[in-house]
């Protein structure tokens, strides 16, 4: 299907057309934005820069029940997975992150929870016109209108949204709202291209990745790790809010004879993450944990899956309470190589 236009005044009707499916969109959560289910009759506004919490939680919840069981019983109760869901207004970096995380969850065996949700989700992206101060998506394979991981891309043209279906799911969604749309003419397509170029030019931060995946293991004992981690508090913000971080812990919770096995986000920046029951910890200080965070994203993941596990969203820079900056760390890596 070619590019289509949706007049902004028809946005509420467009959202209504999706009412048969579960909708998630960015909404205010205190002073932050995060993705949450849209309630009936609500029209999500798309006037945000990016959410503080990435939409990864729609596919990989912060805590999820894997199954329930009763002590002494032979049967387990498996969870109902979600219904068909549309994620509205996903920024291109966060959609790319889903494709990166998916490589892990489809690696040696398919993770049934993640894979099932991914199949049920249609991802509607919103191109960035005003990238944030710490965005560097263009350095790591993305861009303000990158389409990887998206089923449909929306671009804000002022009075209209330009909509481009990228997959069958995206086409189905556009067809369901066909009476609200009109075909985009060549002027609208040119306008989109101009806006995307302007948005790219607004991205001021940059990392150089050439030689980094191969070079990082050689910097194992380099003093740079001590320097860049000296002020780290070990709070885990940089990993919890990272769209590509995917570590989890699995625990059983029991009350009487009723139990559930659940998994929840974990963070390699926590001291207990690698603590053995013997008391030995192979990453005993923040130096080793920071080295691992950077090496995992920029070397180990490349080695295993041929892609950098960072999409340059800038969240870990914006939200680190002591201003530890991954772009600055990568500059030091580059200098040390």
Interaction site with ligand SF4 (CB under 6 A): 232-238, 242-244, 269, 297, 310-316, 320-322, 324, 326
Closest CA to 53 of 24, 22, 84, 21: 24
Contact 237, 319 (CB under 8 A): yes
The least distance separating ligand SF4 from the CB of residue 304, rounded to whole angstroms, comes to 17
The least distance separating ligand SF4 from the CB of residue 147, rounded to whole angstroms, comes to 18
The least distance separating ligand SF4 from the CB of residue 8, rounded to whole angstroms, comes to 30
Of 73 and 322, CB closest to ligand SF4: 322
Task: List the Cα angle 313/317/321 in 5-degree steps.
Answer: 140
Of 18 and 311, CB closest to ligand SF4: 311
Strand, helix or coil for residue 52: coil
DSSP letters, 16-27, are: HHTTTSEEEEEE
The least distance separating ligand SF4 from the CB of residue 322, rounded to whole angstroms, comes to 5
Contact 243, 93 (CB under 8 A): yes
Distance from first CA to last CA of the chain, Å, rounded?
A: 47
Burial of 246 (0-12, 13-18, 19+ CB in 10 A): buried
Contact 129, 199 (CB under 8 A): yes
The least distance separating ligand SF4 from the CB of residue 150, rounded to whole angstroms, comes to 17
Reading the block at residue 246, the tokens are 């995917």
Strand, helix or coil for residue 174: helix
Of 66 and 224, CB closest to ligand SF4: 224
Q: Tell me the backbone φ, ψ of residue 317, rounded to 5 degrees.
A: -80, -50
Of 122 and 134, CB closest to ligand SF4: 134
The least distance separating ligand SF4 from the CB of residue 218, rounded to whole angstroms, comes to 21
The least distance separating ligand SF4 from the CB of residue 93, rounded to whole angstroms, comes to 7
The least distance separating ligand SF4 from the CB of residue 67, rounded to whole angstroms, comes to 30
Of 83 and 210, CB closest to ligand SF4: 210
Of 192 and 287, CB closest to ligand SF4: 287
Phi-psi region of 48 (alpha: psi -120 to 50; beta: other; left: phi over 0): beta
Q: How far is CA 327 from CA 174, 201, 208, in A?
A: 38, 18, 9
Of 131 and 170, CB closest to ligand SF4: 131
Report the DSSP pairing between strands 181-183 and 160-165: unpaired
Of 155 and 241, CB closest to ligand SF4: 241
């Amino acid at each position: 299907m070619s590019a289509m236009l949706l007049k902004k005044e028809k946005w509420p009707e467009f959202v209504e057309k999706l009412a048969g499916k579960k909708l998630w969109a960015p909404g205010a959560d205190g002073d932050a934005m995060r993705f949450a289910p849209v309630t009936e009759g609500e029209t999500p506004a798309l006037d945000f820069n990016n959410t503080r919490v990435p939409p990864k939680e729609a596919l990989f919840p912060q805590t999820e029940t894997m199954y329930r069981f009763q002590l002494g019983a032979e049967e387990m109760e498996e969870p109902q997975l979600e219904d068909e869901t549309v994620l509205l207004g996903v920024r291109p970096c966060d959609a790319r992150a889903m494709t990166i995380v998916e490589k892990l969850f489809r690696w040696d065996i398919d993770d049934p929870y993640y894979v099932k949700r991914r199949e049920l989700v249609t991802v509607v992206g919103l191109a960035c016109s005003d990238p944030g101060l710490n965005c560097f998506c263009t350095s790591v394979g993305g861009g303000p209108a990158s389409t990887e991981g998206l089923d449909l891309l929306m671009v804000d043209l002022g009075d209209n949204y330009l909509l481009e279906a990228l997959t069958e799911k995206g086409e189905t969604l556009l067809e369901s709202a066909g009476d609200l749309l009109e075909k985009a003419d060549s002027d609208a397509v040119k306008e989109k291209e101009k806006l995307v170029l302007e948005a790219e030019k607004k991205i001021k931060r940059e990392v150089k990745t050439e030689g980094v995946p191969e070079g990082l293991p050689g910097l194992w004992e380099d003093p740079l790790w001590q320097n860049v981690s000296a002020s780290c508090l070990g709070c885990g913000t940089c990993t919890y809010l990272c769209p590509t971080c995917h570590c989890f812990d699995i625990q059983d919770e029991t009350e009487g004879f009723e139990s559930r096995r659940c998994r929840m986000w974990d963070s390699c920046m926590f001291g207990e993450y690698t603590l053995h029951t013997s008391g030995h910890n192979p990453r005993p200080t923040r130096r080793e944990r920071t080295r691992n965070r950077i090496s995992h994203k920029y070397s180990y993941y490349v080695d295993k899956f041929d892609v950098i596990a960072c999409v340059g969203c800038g969240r870990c820079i914006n939200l680190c309470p002591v201003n530890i900056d991954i772009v600055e760390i990568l500059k030091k890596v580059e200098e040390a190589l």
